[in-house]
Structure 1
Amino acid sequence: MKEVKLIIIEDHTMVREMWKILLTPARGFIILADCGGVTEAKKIITQMKADVIMLDINLAGDSGFDLIPDIMHYAPGTKLLVVSMHSLASYAKKAMRMGASGYVTKNSTNDELVDAIREVANGKKYICKEVAALMSGDAPPAGDDSPDINNLSSREIEIVQFIKKGKSSKEIAETLDLSLRTVEAHRYNILHKLKLKNTASLISYISKTDIGI
């Protein structure tokens, strides 16, 4: 079996270390480099040639989506596997539209992650079972005036997830170590981007939308 050369872009050190334990030469993987931020990632992808880049969507202070165009430009022959905490069909579709070859969530098993890496390394597309199940039940595309979750930033998605759990702005602020004013600003922006009038309409919308928890 040909060894698969990897670059890991993930902002949590513990997750990177766990993947290093899993993705060993004995399993057929070589990790060329790993990093946790966009600036360092841009340097690595221009200097090293990998078979597969594993990219998290939530990076420290940045969105992994913003890095995808650079990966497509500077590493055109490298396959991209997005590994995210978000169980969102809309996120998977967006990543694939931007050029990713696969999308798996951090709820996926180790075996599924290994399978996903090998599949995309071999030129195939891969969507994890969890998200594939959501996509198979998708409704027809909404009209232009309908709310679109893709308009939200990673931080806004995170706040929406807390709102879905019934958390107050104060509780969200304490959990995310943000000021109450910042959380309220995010909530206002969420309503504006989704073209919703109030929190009640937001709760109604997210109850019918595949916002992963």
Structure 2
Amino acid sequence: MKSQPSQASSERSRSESRATSIAVVDDHRFMRDLIMSMLRRQDGRYDVVGEAADIRTAVALCEKTKPDLLVLDINLPDGSGIDAVPRVQEVAPQTRILLCTADVSESRVVEALRSGAQGFVEKTNTWDAFVEAVDRVAAGQHYFSAESAPFIDARYHGVERATASTAALSPREKEVLQLVATGQTSKEIAQKLGISVGTVDVHRANLMKKLHLRNVAGLVAFAFQARLMAPG
């Protein structure tokens, strides 16, 4: 007699094969339609549950649908998509967020990292790169595309590797790193830690050297991936 699969096994199988639910936010109708159309052609892997053209509608959409993934444009008519990240996380904490932009700059990359978004992709990328970003962020990983390389050292995209690298840092260097990553100036850090500005600058230089980084964006990326900085 053939054994029947258990209810738990059937539910697990359905869960594992369930399409990733996605909401798309962009103020340009053409771009929204293009993204949604292409996602719907991916062999049923994605379920587009809604769209929005501004932050207010996007937050309401996420509160209602609780999508697995939100594709969020940065330039929106009622504000920055980066600033919308904590609002979305408040109403839909399980929703992972992939930020999109046509403007790649160090400040944008740093702001994206600090916001708590799980990914950052440029609209100038290929469709394949965009799908990779969607797949990785939906799977619980972080994604920062190759165009961000001048600002983020790619070696720190892995949490395990970044965490291991913190062993080379002194307790004071970790303190300075956390404060730099939250956007504080050398003067503010010096006041907070009770040390001189010159000492802070020495710690910053040592951090760059030990971690093989070139700029503040790299430090922010490292702090984020090593979980020295809380998202949001």
Please tell me the TM-score bracket, short chain as reference. Answer: 0.5 to 0.7
User: Closer, same or farther in 2 for the Cα pair 1:2/1:129, shift >3 Å?
Assistant: farther
CA distance in 1: counterparts of 2:44 and 2:82, whole angstroms: 29
One-letter code of the match for 1:8?
V
Choose from 34, 37, 44 the match for 1:18: 34
Q: CA deviation at 1:103?
A: 0.2
1:141-166 deviations in whole A, cap 9, x for unaligned? 798379xxxxxxxxxxxxxxxxxxxx
Give yes or no for contact 1:89–1:132 (8 Å, CA) kept in 2. Answer: no
Aligned counterpart, 1:7: 23
2:91 matches 1:50: no
Aligned counterpart, 1:70: 87
User: Closer, same or farther in 2 for the Cα pair 1:144/1:43, shift >3 Å?
Assistant: same
2:142 matches 1:101: no
SS of 1:22's partner is: helix
TM-score by length of 2: 0.57
CA distance in 2: counterparts of 1:28 and 1:42, whole angstroms: 24
Aligned counterpart, 2:3: none
User: Closer, same or farther in 2 for the Cα pair 1:43/1:125, shift >3 Å?
Assistant: same
Aligned counterpart, 1:119: 136
SS of 2:103's partner is: coil
Within-5 A mapping of 1:44-193: 44-136=61-153, 144=185
Q: CA deviation at 1:91?
A: 1.3
One-letter code of the match for 1:9?
V
Runs of 4+ in 1 over 6 A off after TM superposition: 140-143
Larger displacement relative to structure 2 (99-108 or 86-95): 86-95
CA distance in 2: counterparts of 1:126 and 1:2, whole angstroms: 22
Larger displacement relative to structure 2 (51-60 or 124-133): 124-133
Identity of aligned residues (%): 26
One-letter code of the match for 1:83?
C
TM-score by length of 1: 0.62
Q: Which has more helix, going by share of residues?
A: 2
CA distance in 2: counterparts of 1:108 and 1:133, whole angstroms: 16
User: Closer, same or farther in 2 for the Cα pair 1:22/1:133, shift >3 Å?
Assistant: farther
Q: Cα RMSD (Å) of the superposition?
A: 2.6
User: Closer, same or farther in 2 for the Cα pair 1:136/1:108, shift >3 Å?
Assistant: same
Unaligned runs of 5+ in 2: 1-16, 155-176, 188-216, 218-232
Give yes or no for contact 2:133–2:143 (8 Å, CA) kept in 1. Answer: yes
Q: CA deviation at 1:86?
A: 1.4
One-letter code of the match for 1:14?
F
User: Closer, same or farther in 2 for the Cα pair 1:96/1:20, shift >3 Å?
Assistant: same
| Structure having the higher Rg | 2
One-letter code of the match for 1:43?
A
One-letter code of the match for 1:20?
M
Unaligned runs of 5+ in 1: 147-209
Number of aligned residue pairs: 146
